[in-house]
Amino acid sequence: MDLIEHRNAKQIKIGFEFNRTLKEHLKKLSGIKWSATHHCFYILFSQKNAKRLEDHLTNKGYHVNRKKLSAAKVKPVQNAEKKLAEKPELTKTEKGLLWKYVNYLRGKRFSKSTVKTYYSFILKFVRFLDKPVAELKKRDFEGFIEQVLVPQNYSVSSHRQCVSAFKHFAVLFNLDTSIDFENLRPKREKKLPVVLSTEEVIAILQATRNLKHRAVLSLIYSSGLRIGELLALQLEDIDVERRQVFVHQSKNRKDRLVILAESILPLLQNYLVSYKPEKYVVEGKPGKTYSAESVRAFLKRSCKRAKIKKRVTPHTLRHSFATHLLEEGVDLRHIQELLGHSRPETTMIYTHVRKKDLLAIKSPLDRALGGLKKTLPDKQDKNLGLSGDISN
């Protein structure tokens, strides 16, 4: 057993050579989870969990090495986090609430991703509660935010999603109508997206050694796809003759056509012949969709090989696609259509990160130094900069 940082907390990593019997026995212990990022089972780090895990394994005759755990210092766990980690299984009533909530969201025709996100927040919220749902007040929702979301370093975006989940929960169960959920929602962050240069994109693709992985990253960048759109693509959605990719019912339930790069065709053909996917363009098991976590993991490895220091995700490739089109003079309205944005304001953010316009602006420091050098005598070195002696 070893320690890892995962999901903003210390976790006990459980490493072992593949053993189906051990794997099935391990999954019987409450709190055990699988990490696709670290390719291991793990459980929240606490001395109590370490002891539970050790007892669970040694009772079946498995040897446990706790040397690294014994030397580790435990960071104090917030009361709410401890409560969530150690609370027993959900009651029958709590399970009923959650099923009713999920069915309610599905009835509103939310996407699978949205249902999963909202459910995950309400699951934690239900486990956090110590009173009947009918008695909930605004302060109970605020307490969850203060004791769970903030200590666990959830992003502002996730915080906003959580409040949306709360609102639907409150409507479903007819809670206090005076609760103003908008006051619980923080303002949206105005962050500029991370954008790669074209040279960095090519470096990442060249550093991606696996044919399938390279095809995935090339498709995301060359067509400006969201990761979910790429994973949902079926073979029939690619029109080689017209150089188009058909994206079905993506965000906001919109269909759209995107470009298929001419330069990607040989790579795509090679991939399809080599891997022979049955239904989806990119598959895990035959006929099954691929994992988004796997894409993020191999992209991270490729960036490391390419010596890219920026924080790069699959969405960074989409941001780069849009920015590079804008720098090449493509109309903003066309980029909006290619990206599938509902509002032009969403696409406008790329006007703030395009490089060509910024490079055309001359810094006042350059102007000042240029003017100073013009005053120097003809025999004096005019190439001096800030690192040299520019005084008279």
pLDDT digits (tens, 9 = 90+) for 217-229: 999 999 999 999 9
Within 13 A of 207's CA, how many CA atoms are on the CB side? 17
Spell out the residues 6+ positions from residue 153 whose beta carbon is closer than 8 angstroms to its own.
8
Task: Tell me, yes or no, if 119 is annotated catalytic.
Answer: no
What backbone phi and psi angles, to 5 degrees, belong to 379? -80, -15
- Beta bridge partners, 44, equal 11
Mean pLDDT for 136-146 is 92
Q: CA-to-CA distance for 350 and 341, rounded, in angstroms?
A: 12
Task: Tell me, yes or no, if 159 is annotated catalytic.
Answer: no
Name the least confident of 56-65, 77-86, 101-110, 209-218.
77-86
Spell out the residues 6+ positions from residue 59 whose beta carbon is closer than 8 angstroms to its own.
none
Task: Tell me, yes or no, if 341 is annotated catalytic.
Answer: yes
pLDDT digits (tens, 9 = 90+) for 29-76: 888 888 776 778 888 888 788 888 888 888 888 888 766 555 555 444
> Are 266 and 290 contacting, i.e. CB atoms less than 8 angstroms apart?
no
Report the phi/psi class of residue 194: left, alpha or beta, with left for phi > 0 and alpha for psi in -120 to 50. beta
> Are 204 and 303 contacting, i.e. CB atoms less than 8 angstroms apart?
yes
Is 63 exposed, middle or buried (CB count within 10 Å of its CB: 0-12, 13-18, 19+)? exposed
More confident residue, 154 or 221: 221
Beta strand pairing status for 40-44 and 33-35? antiparallel
Q: 92-184: which CATH architecture?
A: Orthogonal Bundle (1.10)
Looking at the chain, the whole-number percentage of residues with pLDDT higher than 90 is 47
pLDDT of residue 296: 93
Q: Per mean pLDDT, which of 76-85, 157-166, 370-379 is the most reliable? A: 157-166
Spell out the residues 6+ positions from residue 337 whose beta carbon is closer than 8 angstroms to its own.
256
Q: Which tokens is 149 given?
A: 């979301």
Q: Kindly report the CA angle at 51 between 48 and 53, in degrees rounded to 5? A: 110
pLDDT of residue 224: 94
Report the largest interatomic distance among the alpha carbons of the chain, rounded to a whole angstrom. Answer: 90
Name the least confident of 31-40, 137-146, 183-192.
31-40
pLDDT of residue 243: 92
Task: Tell me, yes or no, if 350 is annotated catalytic.
Answer: yes
Catalytic residue among 160, 226, 296, 373: 226
Catalytic residue among 185, 318, 319, 324: 318
Q: CA-to-CA distance for 117 and 33, rounded, in angstroms?
A: 17
What single-letter DSSP state applies at residue 242? T
pLDDT of residue 74: 45
Edge-first strand order for the sheet with 9-14 is 2-6, 9-14, 40-44, 33-35
DSSP symbols for 99-156: HHHHHHHHHTT--HHHHHHHHHHHHHHHHH--S-GGG--HHHHHHHIIIIITTTT--H
Task: Tell me, yes or no, if 124 is annotated catalytic.
Answer: no
What single-letter DSSP state applies at residue 16? -
pLDDT at 322 over 60: yes
Catalytic residue among 83, 256, 300, 315: 315
Mean pLDDT for 14-28 is 83
pLDDT at 188 over 80: yes
Categorize the per-residue pLDDT at 87 as very low, low, confident or very high, splitting at 50, 70 and 90. Answer: low
More confident residue, 45 or 334: 334
Q: Where are the domains of the chain?
A: 2-75, 92-184, 198-352
pLDDT of residue 380: 57
Categorize the per-residue pLDDT at 376 as very low, low, confident or very high, splitting at 50, 70 and 90. Answer: low
Catalytic residue among 101, 271, 290, 350: 350
- At the topology level, CATH places domain 198-352 in hpI Integrase; Chain A (1.10.443)
Catalytic residue among 6, 251, 301, 354: 251
Within 10 angstroms of residue 131's Cβ, the number of other Cβ atoms is 9
Spell out the residues 6+ positions from residue 63 whose beta carbon is closer than 8 angstroms to its own.
none
Q: CA-to-CA distance for 225 and 251, rounded, in angstroms?
A: 11
